[in-house]
Structure 1
């Protein structure tokens, strides 16, 4: 059962409200499995039935908004009364529907719209606020920080200052959520830190590096035996950096008709360029050895595919705001030209 969308109400039995010490409209935090939660206001059910809960997910963990549950079994201990004082200021990031809206809408207008839509909303640090009921291009805002020394929740009024730290599209936001893998790396922390260092600065501060005259790596080669966790490592690090990820496995690019493989490879780079318009992006070429073997012992179609990848990498410029990570378990079988300066000239080795 649902309540009115956008109401931020949690309807429960009056007996449970009394047991929790909740009055009408009191803010309450509903905690779910996996560290997910939502902040809502307590209201009695119209049928006064006990043992049932109706929740509007207006303010909830970002992964809860993108994957709302259909059925939940909750214990009363998972409902916590939460103090929500009036906030002097909040820092938020805005999630919009399209790239065109992000590019062509004045920041001042976005600020005015968001401030008006957030007025009267209870918010929680690191939660996302669903604004789809306003029927605009602005879909969510993520509460990055609130100006409270203690506590994680508060109430936004007309006097609350709103600072926008960034604007991203729904597609980019969802790809970031997918890449935030919580699986432990199992002893690969040092390798992960090395890869993160190589990716973070060029992705987040390319203009600063360019002004300092520091060359940015375009490609990073990840070398390790099968099953050591190369793909998991890339997903984990890219999620921590805050970039989106375009994943392509070498065999997926190889086509049957002449020229099809090169066409697919060009389309892959276009996908990465399109994603990079919305924010930092990493193009991950898994099983790179199957895509670019040594040309001396390969057939003509494979030679053309290697040449196409080299041409695409050489054609990348400063406006292409994405990096390439290639993974292989057979580095000696790669064409040597791939590892020349300006291509896969940085390397991270993973050991079992």
Structure 2
């Protein structure tokens, strides 16, 4: 990077780093006071970033660094996220379980997208909600956003309301275990198929015991593995749309560089070339870069735009999550015995 460009991005990057640091502090306070982490640092980074932008308005000197953080750092984070996926995990799960998870994710994506569009949401926001609900919440949203070229307001809207629903799912889903006659393995599978983040799956499955936690974790990891094929497919579809519009495209236009990097890291991890300790370090770096990127996202959000879409977004997300729970429930009771 040229020195002149580095100087241009430093003010905005510094602000993003400060916001990200504040987000981690708030997350730690949350753990201390509540004994658990209901909201991740990346959500706090968006919230704090929005507050900072509202207080200090839109400063021109910050823009290059904010753009660098929310785009380039996020793309690097997505590449590193590939270290969380191993092809061996897929192969060891068994064909029936894999087919069930794939089918539910695909059905949920299509159903969530259709619901969002029927409620009048823009197509890019509908895709974010669909992928967030169907795959892995926040991680899916931030991974898909640059591929479909979603703007900061759309990403902030999807993340904000998905975070709220994630907490609601953790608190309410155990009621199905206590009152719907599900066995521990069935309930764990249901949690793995419907709850957004891995820590949230652990929290939701815990009331049913160790079997539920283990089952939920395995199925959740299979669901997360769908992120790779989904972002790759979206990249191909985006490239086809551009070609139909008459644009000349290279391979990196058809499939963005960070998707290729993501796939390469998955292959390298699956071949055993990344030691376990290095895997954890890469995932920690990916998480940290994502938080900084979300700080940049929050610093570029227009509060009025997000608020205007709030009602429809929360309704679309809620209906989509309910659809996922209902479909998963019937699959679980049909496929797994108590």
For the aligned pair, the TM-score class normalised by the smaller chain equals: under 0.3
Q: Given the two structures, how large is their TM-score scaled by the length of structure 2?
A: 0.23
Higher relative CO (Cα under 8 Å, sequence separation at least 6) belongs to 2
Structure ID, larger Rg: 1
Give the structure with the higher percent strand: 1
